[in-house]
């Protein structure tokens, strides 16, 4: 954000009041200068959720509107406060006589009603157009179902052959979309109301249980765009984050191909294979891994609805193709690799992202701590005394009480889920 008029007016407010006390113009002028400098330089650089840095068509529309509205508000504010400051100084008690008891002038009143009305009419016209533009769905090129629950998002890509998606893809944590494509999110929720917000791509839209809400997203360039759930959704609301990944069309096709890749079980005798057994016993009750088979060769279908109130748990089929886990709260990659991806130029981004989580990059510390005791890492409802109303079903992930040995095995197994 380079120009925010709002903080400027804030500082001006203090200035005008200090005028009154000191009535020394020089001090005021100095203060105004300082205030202006702070307002200009006073914003964070590269804030991931900055609402003034649009990276796509929809956010751009909002930004254009904001760039009309904020200056108008700023100018009106400066004018009004300047008038106020003038009055405060000019008409202070200097021993003048009690003024005439005039009760007002209707002409002035009417002018002062009409002028703001005209300004607001102008703003209103632009607003109306933008609202209608942002609600269009005819130009949709791709649909993604987005389902919120406490405290993560599930992304489900329905079959769309024109986008190369021949069988449904289920993922979580990171929303992957092709650049230059009008993507329509169909949001809903499994429990309470959440809100989907990627500031660089569009404003927010609530995900309400029982309803389908539409949100347009379009990204101009490959890159990673941060977001956050913005409707208060209970205990771990602060930890419900999201990241949108925009990939070039070729890279997106590669990503789709990887997601649709068949499951390969780890080789016999490896630690990962032992991990698969632990996973089947401990994790697959809730977490689906597509293609995972039990000892009899029967496909394992998780039943999260029997254990979790929302009735779903993140699908872990290609976990290592994502950079985050646990509702995008924790990085699956270490700081160096994370910076590498986040700071990559838009040309280099796709390749870096598609590398996934390599062994060098894996942030084992986070993953192990999570497997050791998930509720200690992220506040969730796993305490049996608080689950009476849900019939013992968890809201979030419980502490599984895995041994360190088991954790080693599961980490080894999970890192094979490329």
Partner 1 sequence: MAIIERPAVATPAVVTPQQTLGAVKRPVATKGWREWLFTVDHKKIGIMYGVVAMVFFLVGGVEALLIRLQLAAPNGHILSADKYNQMFTMHATTMVFLFAMPMAGAFANYFLPLQIGARDVAFPRINALSLWLLVVGGIVLNASWFLGGAADGGWFMYAPNSGPIFSPSHGVDFWVLGLQIAGIASLLGSINLIVTVLNMRAPGMSLMKMPVFTWMILVVQFLLVFSLPVITVALVLLMLQRSYGATFFDVSQGADPLLWQHLFWIFGHPEVYVLILPAFGIISEVLPTFARKPLFGYPFVVFSGASIGLVGFGVWAHHMFASGLGPVSVAVFSIATMAIAIPTGVKIFNWLLTMWGGKIWYTSAMKFAIGLVVLFTIGGLSGVTHSVAPSDTQQTDTYYIVAHFHYVLFGGMVFGLFSGFYYWWPKVFGKMLDEKLGSWNFWLMVIGMNMTFGPMHILGLQGQPRRMYQWTEARAGEGFFNLGFWNLVASIGSFVLAVGILFFLINVVKTARNGKQAPVDPWDARTLEWLTTNPPKPHNFDRIPVVHHLDEFFHRKYDEDPATHTMRKVAEGEDLVRAEEAAADAHIHLPSPSYWPLVLSIGVGTLGMGIIYGIPLMVVGAAVTLFAAYGWVLEPSVAEDIDFEPSDTDGHTKEIAPLG
Partner 2 sequence: MFTPGSKYFLGLTGLALVSAVLYTFLVNPSDLGAYALFGLFLNAAVVAGFSFFTRDGDADTVEEAIAANTEASAPSFWPIVFALGGALVLLGLATNEVVFVIGLGVFAGGAIEWAIQNWADRASADSSFNSFVRHRAVGALDYPGLAAVALGVIAYLFSRIMLTVSKEQAPIIFIIAAAIVLTVGVLIGSKPEMRGKTSLIVVAGVLVLAIAGVSSGISGERHELAVVSEENPYAVANRECGAEASAHYDHIANNKVPLKSAVLATIFVKEGKISAQMVGLKKDVDTITIPRSNATSILFRNLDKEEHRLVANLGEVKVGSTDVMEKVGTCTQLTGKDQEQVLTVSIPKPSFANGPYSLTVPGIDGEIKVVVP
Binding footprint of partner 2 on the chain (CB under 8 A): 137-138, 140, 143, 145, 147, 154, 156, 158-159, 168-170, 184, 186, 188, 190, 208-214, 288, 299, 301, 303-305, 310-312
Under rule CB under 8 A, which residues in 145-164 are in contact with partner 1? Answer: 150
Picking from 311, 326, 316, 313, the residue whose alpha carbon sits closest to that of residue 393 is: 311
Length of the chain: 418
Q: Which does residue 140 touch among partner 2, partner 1, none (CB within 5 to 8 A, set by kind)?
A: partner 2
What distance in Å separates the CA atoms of residue 314 and residue 324, rounded to the nearest whole number? 12
Residue nearer to partner 2 on the CB measure, 154 or 276? 154
- Token look-up 């987005």 returns 146
Does residue 373 interact with partner 1 by CB under 8 A?
A: no
What distance in Å separates the CA atoms of residue 188 and residue 191, rounded to the nearest whole number? 9
**Contact criterion met (CB below 8 Å) for 380 and 396:** yes
Q: Is residue 377 classed exposed, middle or buried when 0-12, 13-18 and 19+ CB atoms within 10 A define those classes? A: middle
Does residue 229 interact with partner 1 by CB under 8 A?
A: yes
Q: Which does residue 103 touch among partner 1, partner 2, none (CB within 5 to 8 A, set by kind)?
A: partner 1
Q: How many residues bind partner 1 (CB under 8 A)?
A: 114
Tokens of 58: 């929809």
CB of 346 to partner 1, least distance (A): 19
Q: Which does residue 186 touch among partner 2, partner 1, none (CB within 5 to 8 A, set by kind)?
A: partner 2
Taking residues 93 to 112 in sequence order and writing x for each that binds partner 1 by CB under 8 A, - otherwise, the string is: xx-xxxxxxxxxxx-xx--x
What distance in Å separates the CA atoms of residue 179 and residue 104, rounded to the nearest whole number? 60
CB of 184 to partner 2, least distance (A): 5
* Cα torsion 69, 72, 75, 81: sign: negative
* Element containing residue 329 per DSSP (H, E): none
Does residue 270 interact with partner 1 by CB under 8 A?
A: no
Residues 46, 195, 329, CA angle at the centre, nearest 5°?
55
Peptide bond into 84 cis (omega under 30): no
Q: Is residue 258 classed exposed, middle or buried when 0-12, 13-18 and 19+ CB atoms within 10 A define those classes? A: middle
Tokens of 111: 């002018």
Stretch that binds partner 1, among 1-9, 140-148, 154-162, 346-354 (CB under 8 A): 1-9
CB of 228 to partner 2, least distance (A): 22
Q: Which does residue 193 touch among partner 1, partner 2, none (CB within 5 to 8 A, set by kind)?
A: partner 1
Q: Which does residue 22 touch among partner 1, partner 2, none (CB within 5 to 8 A, set by kind)?
A: none
**Contact criterion met (CB below 8 Å) for 130 and 121:** no
Does residue 11 interact with partner 1 by CB under 8 A?
A: yes
CB of 410 to partner 1, least distance (A): 26
In the set 2, 26, 132, 138, which binds partner 1 (CB under 8 A)?
A: 132
Residue nearer to partner 1 on the CB measure, 99 or 401? 99
Residue nearer to partner 2 on the CB measure, 145 or 270? 145
Under rule CB under 8 A, which residues in 313-372 are in contact with partner 1? Answer: none
Query: Which residues have CB under 8 Å from 282's CB, separation 6+?
Result: 400, 402, 406, 410
What distance in Å separates the CA atoms of residue 121 and residue 53, rounded to the nearest whole number? 27
In the set 43, 303, 354, 369, which binds partner 1 (CB under 8 A)?
A: 43
Does residue 231 interact with partner 1 by CB under 8 A?
A: yes
Q: Which does residue 159 touch among partner 1, partner 2, none (CB within 5 to 8 A, set by kind)?
A: partner 2
């Amino acid at each position: 954000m380079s120009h925010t008029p709002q903080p400027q007016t804030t500082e001006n407010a203090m200035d005008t009041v200090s005028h009154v006390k000191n009535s020394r113009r020089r001090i005021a002028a100095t203060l105004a200068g300082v205030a202006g400098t702070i307002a200009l330089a006073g914003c964070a650089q590269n804030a991931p959720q900055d609402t003034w840095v649009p990276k796509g068509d929809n956010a751009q529309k909002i930004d254009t509107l904001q760039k009309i509205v904020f200056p108008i508000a700023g100018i009106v504010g400066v004018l009004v406060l300047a008038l106020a400051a003038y009055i405060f100084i000019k008409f202070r008690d200097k021993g003048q006589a009690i003024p005439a008891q005039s009760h007002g002038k209707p002409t002035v009143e009417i002018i002062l009603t009409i002028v703001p009305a005209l300004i607001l009419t102008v703003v209103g016209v632009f607003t109306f157009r933008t609202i209608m533009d942002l609600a269009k769905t005819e130009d949709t090129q791709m649909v993604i179902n987005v389902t919120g629950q406490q405290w993560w998002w599930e992304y489900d890509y329905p079959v769309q052959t024109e986008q190369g998606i021949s069988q449904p893809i289920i993922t979580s944590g990171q929303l992957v979309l092709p650049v230059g494509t009008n993507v329509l999110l169909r949001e809903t929720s499994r429990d309470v109301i959440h809100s989907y917000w990627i500031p660089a791509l569009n404003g927010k839209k609530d995900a309400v249980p029982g309803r389908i809400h539409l949100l347009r997203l379009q990204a101009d360039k490959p890159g990673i765009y941060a977001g956050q759930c913005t409707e208060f959704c209970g205990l771990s609301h602060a930890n419900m984050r999201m990241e949108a990944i925009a990939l070039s069309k070729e890279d997106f096709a590669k990503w789709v191909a990887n997601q649709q890749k068949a499951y390969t079980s780890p080789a016999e005798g490896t630690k990962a294979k032992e991990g698969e057994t632990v996973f089947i016993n401990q994790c697959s009750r809730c977490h689906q891994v597509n293609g995972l088979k039990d000892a009899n060769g029967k496909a394992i279908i998780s039943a999260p609805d029997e254990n979790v109130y929302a009735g779903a748990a993140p699908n872990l089929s290609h976990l290592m193709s994502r950079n985050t886990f646990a509702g995008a709260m924790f990085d699956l990659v270490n700081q160096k690799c994370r910076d590498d991806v986040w700071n990559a130029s838009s040309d280099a981004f796709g390749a870096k992202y598609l590398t996934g989580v390599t062994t060098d990059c894996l942030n084992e510390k986070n993953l192990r701590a999570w497997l050791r005791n998930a509720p200690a890492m992220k506040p969730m409802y796993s305490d049996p005394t608080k689950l009476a109303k849900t019939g013992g079903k968890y809201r979030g992930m419980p502490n599984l009480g895995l041994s360190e040995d088991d954790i080693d095995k599961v980490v080894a197994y999970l890192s094979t889920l490329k």
